[in-house]
Amino acid sequence: MNTWIQCVTVLLPVAYMSTALLHGMAFAGDKQPPIAGWRRASLWTALALHAVLFALHARVAGGFPELDPWLIVSSVSLTVTLLWTAVTVRSRQASAGAIVLGVVGLLQLLASAFGPVTANVLAPLNAARILHVVTSVFAAAALVLSGLYGLLHLMLYRQMRAKRFGPIFRQLPNLEQLSRTTRRAALAGFLFLTAGLNIGIGMAHAQDVSGFDYRDPQVVLTIALWIHFGMIAFSHVIRGLTARRTSIAALAGLITLIATLLMALIPGITFHE
């Protein structure tokens, strides 16, 4: 079983990178039907491989696997791809794929390189804990997507300010759509984070989790992120929050989110390590 896990772990970043490359070819102007077909096939292959990887981990662990930081990164990669696929199906605009899937591929490469071969079962295994993990992963993925679309918005806006009408101008979705996706992804992240955060705090109180404190750096940063992305989600009704400022905020939120996740890797900083 471990051999299978190792094979899939190695193949997964390759699958994501290949998909990103095929999207990059489309971005550069190659939209021939065979390329479009390979792009779709490659994306579904990557998603299927990822599902197989988690199924194998669950089978080895004998239940819902405990997610170490690298497995969290891997599950965030999978969720980002799922959310992005939903966005593209709805908007019929897959041109951001090169960048979004490129970042996903990079995250998965790190997860594959540093992650464990096998995972333990989540203990204690209960519905609240599973829900806390799942909502937190979805929140992180939505916030990553919001940050990435914010980055794309800034890229296009800068190009348009500089009066450069190259591939970024021609291929990316329009400014309004990028801004809307940034806000909507932030809203999804905000809602999932509301659920994940409350379930987590509830569990911490109910189960008297050792080391839990509201002053814990990860808790503080997560609450800050919750407020931050809440503002981004409703930025269109807040005077003075221009689309550009919202995008900068989303990008800053993404960097903070990465810092928050990385915190768990350093011993002694957070109870969540």
Partner 1 sequence: MDSVQDLILVGFSHRTAPVNVREQYAVRGEDLEPCLRAIASADGVDEACVLSTCNRTEVLVIGTGRETATALARQHLFRSMGDEHLYAFEGVHAVIHLFRVAGGLDSLVLGESEILAQVKHALDQARKADAIKRLLHPLLTHAIAVGKRIRTETELGRGTLSVARVGVDVAKQVFGSLEAAHALIIGAGETAQLVARHLASERVGSMDFANRTLQRAELVASEFGGVAYGLGDLKQALLRADLVVACIDGDGGLVGTDLFSARELNRRARPMLVVDLSVPRAVDRRAADLGNLLVYDLDDLEPVVESNLKNRGAAMTQADEILVAEVHKFLALRTYAAFSPVIGELAQRFDTAREQVLDTVAGGSASAREMQIAHELVKKLLDIALSTMKEGARNARSEAVLDREYQRFLDNLESPS
CA dihedral (247, 253, 258, 260) in degrees, to 10, reads 180
- Is 236 in contact with 215 (CB distance < 8 Å)? no
Among 87, 126, 94, 109, which residue's Cα sits nearest to residue 25? 94
For 121, phi then psi, to 5°, come to -75, 145
Min CB(90)–partner 1 separation in Å: 14
Query: Which residue, 82 or 175, is less far from partner 1 as judged by CB?
Result: 175
Residue ranges binding partner 1 (CB under 8 A): 157, 160-161, 163-166, 169-170, 173-177, 179, 235-236, 239-244
Q: Which is nearer to partner 1, 13 or 173 (CB)?
A: 173
- Minimum distance between the CB of residue 35 and partner 1, rounded to whole angstroms? 18
Please choose, from the candidates 160, 167, 231, the residue with its C-alpha nearest in 3D space to the C-alpha of residue 193. Answer: 231
Whose CA is closest to 122, among 164, 65, 195?
A: 65
Please say which residue, 166 or 268, places its beta carbon nearer to partner 1: 166
Q: At closest approach, how far in Å is the CB of 25 from partner 1? A: 17
- Least separation in angstroms between residue 38's CB and partner 1 is 23
Please say which residue, 182 or 222, places its beta carbon nearer to partner 1.
182
Question: Which one, 11 or 175, has the nearer CB to partner 1?
Answer: 175
Shortest Å, Cβ 23 to partner 1: 20
Select from 201, 199, 225, 196 the least CA-distant residue to 213: 201
Would you give the distance in Å from CA 138 to the centre of its chain? 8
